[in-house]
Amino acid sequence: MGAEYETWSGDMLDDPAMMEAFATQLRRRLAEQANYVAHIRRDAEAMWKENPPEGYGSFEAWWRHRWLSGPFGEIQAHLEEAAKLTFRLEARYRRGRHEIPARRQAAAEARQARALPAGLSAAARDAQPAPARAQAGPPEKPFLEMLRERRERSA
């Protein structure tokens, strides 16, 4: 199994499409796990409510129910918060790795174009960096498939 996958490195996410695919799949998995925990929580709460243990007073039954079902709610909330954070991860990565460097490069080229003689400035102005790609829909390929293709190209 280990020989099948290449070692993880952060530069695998240099491509904005790969970062988007990674964040989308991570978000989907976290949402699935949050739904799974919510399902277990609903079942556990319903089961406890309909089948309270004998020998407990109402306060003790309520306390034990809260003590057992509380962590499910906390886990579900943490998973949902983690899924929300994937949007911040994707946006920060896109800005930090693509948009900000592109603006810096464009500003540097503009300064260079002003400093160059008139004959060279037109060529320098034509070399504009490509704007960062903003894609509204889901990525075309899953993240793991993109990694496999990258590994096959490098092999």
Q: Phi and psi at residue 127, in whole multiples of 5°?
A: -85, 75
DSSP, collapsed to helix, strand or coil, labels residue 40 as: helix
For the stretch 40-80, pLDDT in tens is: 989 888 887 788 778 777 788 778 778 877 888 899 999 99
d(CA 66, CA 42): 13
Radius of gyration of the chain (CA): 26
For the stretch 4-25, pLDDT in tens is: 556 767 777 778 888 888 899 9
* Domain segments of the chain as ranges: 15-128
d(CA 6, CA 147): 9
The pLDDT of residue 63 is 82
Angle at 140 between CA 137 and CA 141, to 5 degrees: 135
The pLDDT of residue 135 is 56
What distances in angstroms separate CA 94 from CA 16, 98, 109, 133, one per listed residue?
A: 7, 5, 21, 9
* pTM score of the predicted model: 0.61
